[in-house]
Amino acid sequence: MVSPELLEILRCPNCVREKDGLLTLHRDAWLICQDCGRKYPIVDDIPVMLIDEGDKWKDTETDKLPVPPPAK
């Protein structure tokens, strides 16, 4: 599980310079940007905060996200 302290400081790397880039935790497995809708997987308790990774899941509906996220 990702620590609450880490969740407080993490921001979407795509949005953080122009917007808030706030992230919401979904099913303890995904971080979803409130601004752009990119979805970042949490693999082995480590958020994968790469824009390319968030892009892969952007068009996937939240309820269709695999839990746990696929590991590379």
Percent of the chain with pLDDT over 70: 99
What is the pLDDT, as a whole number, of residue 2?
84
Domains of the chain, earliest start first: 4-64 (2.20.25)
Average pLDDT, whole number, for the chain? 94
Query: Would you say residue 72 has pLDDT above 70?
Result: no
How far is Cα 48 from Cα 23, in angstroms, rounded to an integer? 13
Q: Model pTM? A: 0.92
pLDDT digits (tens, 9 = 90+) for 14-40: 999 999 999 999 999 999 999 999 999
How many whole angstroms separate alpha carbon 21 and alpha carbon 11? 5
